[in-house]
Structure 1
Amino acid sequence: MKIVVTGSLGNISRPLAEELIAKGNSVTVISSSPEKQKEIESLGAKAAIGTMEDVAFLTETFKGADAVYCMETFGFFNPDFDYLQYIDQIAHNYKDAIEASAIKKVIHLSSIGAHTSEGVGILKFHHSAERIMNQLPEDIIIKFIRPVGFYVNLFGQIPTIKSQGIIVSNFGNQEKEPWVSPYDIADVIAEEFRLPFDHRKIRYVASDAVSAIEIAETLGKAIEQPHLKWVTVTDEEYLDGLLNIGMNKQIAEDYVAMQAAQRTGSIYQDFNKHKPTFGKVKFSDFAKEFAAIYNK
């Protein structure tokens, strides 16, 4: 199968490309960075250098492919950036390029929380992107992959752990919550490329369920800080912290709202109705990866 992968060599796209190539597929990886070309080609993939903002580039890259994997991403620190408008534009670009290139098989990276536009904070952009992609003709089969919170998001806590010896968030208690490894997401996407494209579907992905207390204990042991604690602050305190490090105000406010929805559990309403089988990478496995990054 000829498959186009967006997302350059990110946390999901790299292992996905590697797995697809290992299974004998012909893979093209889209990247906006010319510096990534040699690295992409070293995997055995073809590099397509261009941007998601360029519909003509996307259309030309998609032509001749059997299937595409689409994802959206953006930075958090541009003060003048309207992320909702941007995501809508990228989703429309995908939609237009898919139609123009006659692609019939699409896998789209979405997220937990995409089932609604209300009460999920920043994740509402996934709801909007799914809505736009669902406007494609019915003969184009789309599979929406909805992972839960990423283990790797915890890397953002490293500066606070090193400076204060704590993990800080506006959610977290003794209740277990689902988390996911990008490797398990890549495995699920690769599996969905092998499975029939006979109807549109939504598939949730999770790797393990752990509480905030367990996260602190496990990471503390891995980095040899046995007294590491998870400290839950108010929404206002957490927002102040994000703004102080320069995060875009709109994004910061919606990020806090997303984590507040984790605190109440409302973000998991649809996930709880369609719980997946957990993947292979457990939190204890990720703790080793975290320790390696922490100790660099």
Structure 2
Amino acid sequence: MKIVVTGSLGHISKPLTQALVQQGHLVTVISSNQARQAAIEDLGAKAAIGTMEDVDFLARTFKGADVVYLMETLAHNSFFDHSVDFVAGLSKIGENYRQAVEQSGVKQIIHLSSIGAHMAEGNGILRFHYNVEKSLNQLPADVHIKFMRPVGFYYNMFAFIPSIKAKGVIIANYGGHEQEPWVSTTDIAAVIAEEIEKPFSGRSVRYIASDEISPNEIAHTLGEAIGRNDVKWLEVSDEQSLNGMITAGMNPETAQGRRNGNERRSPWWGIVRRLLRQ
């Protein structure tokens, strides 16, 4: 099959591209970075250099594809850019995708969404996933879409490094012994590759998780791995969490959204647990 992968050589798109090439598919990888072209070609894929903001470029690249994998991203420093409306920016990319899919005539889509995408509010910055799903669902009925909704990413734990180094603690506005679902990006890529091989029909949702582990277990495991048995998970108030992110230079509006989206007591956590255990 001819497959288009968005997301350049990111944590999901790279292993996904590798898997699809190994399966014998003809893969085109979209990247905004010309310097990535050689690395994409080294994987056995074709590089299409352009941006998610360019609908015409997207439509041309999608045209003739059997399946397109869609994901939204902004520049890595977007959280700290006070001129960036994070939710609006990613939602606009989703609308660009909708237009490009319609113009290109592609009929099979896999979209990287998230837990919380079924909620219009109460899910912090994850709200953009709700917006994008809503936009893509406006496509004609003969466009078949699989929405992938992974839980929290393991690699987000890299954000814990500064506080572990400085104070031996992980600081968040949730904690304790209650287990929460987490996922590896390589597992997400494997699930997407699996879904590409399966028949497409209508609109469907699949939740993705690798494991369930409590915050206290995470602190113990990470501490043990680096030879520090004193690493603790410190639960702080929502207000302390918000102020810490703003002090670090994060866009206050984005910080508010991250604070809300990280709140483990949000209702979608319970929903996700039930879905994963069915």
- TM-score (norm. length: structure 1): 0.91
Name the amino acid aligned to 2:54.
D
Name the amino acid aligned to 2:62.
F
CA deviation after TM superposition for structure 1 residue 160, in Å: 1.0
Indicate how the Cα distance of structure 1 residues 276 and 23 shifts in structure 2: closer, same or farther if over 3 A, else same.
farther
5+ residue gaps in structure 2? none
CA deviation after TM superposition for structure 1 residue 241, in Å: 1.1
Name the amino acid aligned to 2:129.
H
Could you say which residue in structure 1 is the equivalent of 2:268? Answer: 267
Name the amino acid aligned to 1:13.
S
Name the amino acid aligned to 2:218.
I
1:115–1:270: 8 Å Cα contact kept in structure 2? no
Cα RMSD over matched residues? 1.1
CA deviation after TM superposition for structure 1 residue 227, in Å: 0.8
Q: Does 1:145 align with 2:144?
A: no
5+ residue gaps in structure 1? 278-296
Structure 1: which 4+ aligned runs deviate by more than 3 Å?
none
2:82–2:250: 8 Å Cα contact kept in structure 1? yes
Could you say which residue in structure 1 is the equivalent of 2:124? Answer: 121
Could you say which residue in structure 2 is the equivalent of 1:7? Answer: 7
User: What percentage of residue pairs aligned between the two structures are identical?
Assistant: 52
Q: 2:110 aligns with which of 107, 126, 151?
A: 107
CA distance in 2, matches of 1:269, 1:236: 23
Cα deviation digits, residues 29-68 of structure 1 (max 9, x gap): 1011111111111000101111000001101111111110
> Secondary structure of the equivalent of 1:27?
strand
Q: Does 1:182 align with 2:185?
A: yes
Could you say which residue in structure 2 is the equivalent of 1:282? Answer: none
Cα deviation digits, residues 3-43 of structure 1 (max 9, x gap): 00000101100000000111000101101111111111100
1:206–1:276: 8 Å Cα contact kept in structure 2? no
Moved more, 203-212 or 162-171: 162-171
Name the amino acid aligned to 1:244.
T
2:170–2:219: 8 Å Cα contact kept in structure 1? yes
CA deviation after TM superposition for structure 1 residue 265, in Å: 4.7
CA distance in 2, matches of 1:172, 1:62: 43
Q: 1:163 aligns with which of 166, 176, 187?
A: 166
- TM-score (norm. length: structure 2): 0.96
Could you say which residue in structure 2 is the equivalent of 1:192? Answer: 195
Q: Does 1:135 align with 2:138?
A: yes
> Secondary structure of the equivalent of 2:64?
coil
CA distance in 2, matches of 1:163, 1:44: 42
CA distance in 2, matches of 1:132, 1:273: 27
2:122–2:266: 8 Å Cα contact kept in structure 1? no
